């Protein structure tokens, strides 16, 4: 059972449930949670990216049985006089490393499949 306000869910490597969490209150909280679907445990195996804001458009870019990588959009949600912005963020599992890319006024990403050799 997920006890957080979830925006999007995806499965990576046929094993890892990745949840993008939405803002719930004004305190920083983990925005990315991971569950091991091969485990009997109900609780997530971890949470990362402690921020105030929302995560959207989680896309798995690399995956196998023991690791994966996602990119997603983080939208900071601050009250005025602060300006809200979007940022592309990469998440690497199992290291839990977060890479933050450039900030944008607005940002949307979509997965695109392409065939090599064309």
pLDDT digits over 29-77, tens only?
Answer: 899 999 999 999 889 999 999 998 899 999 999 999 899 999 999 998 7
Average pLDDT, the chain: 87
- Where is pLDDT greater, at 2 or 94? 94
- C-alpha 89/C-alpha 66 separation (Å) is 21
Classify 43 as helix, strand or coil: coil
Phi, psi of 82 (to 5 degrees): -75, 145
């Amino acid at each position: 059972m997920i006890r957080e306000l979830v925006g999007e869910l995806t499965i990576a490597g046929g094993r890892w449930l990745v949840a993008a969490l939405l803002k719930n209150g004004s305190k920083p909280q983990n925005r990315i949670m991971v569950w091991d679907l091969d485990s009997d445990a109900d609780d997530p195996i971890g949470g990362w990216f402690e921020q105030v804001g929302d995560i959207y458009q989680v896309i798995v870019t690399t995956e196998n049985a023991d690791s994966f990588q996602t990119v997603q959009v983080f939208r900071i949600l601050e009250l005025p006089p602060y300006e809200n912005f979007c940022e592309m963020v990469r998440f690497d599992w199992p290291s839990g490393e977060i890479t933050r890319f450039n900030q944008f006024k607005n940002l949307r990403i979509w997965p695109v499949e392409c065939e090599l050799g064309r």
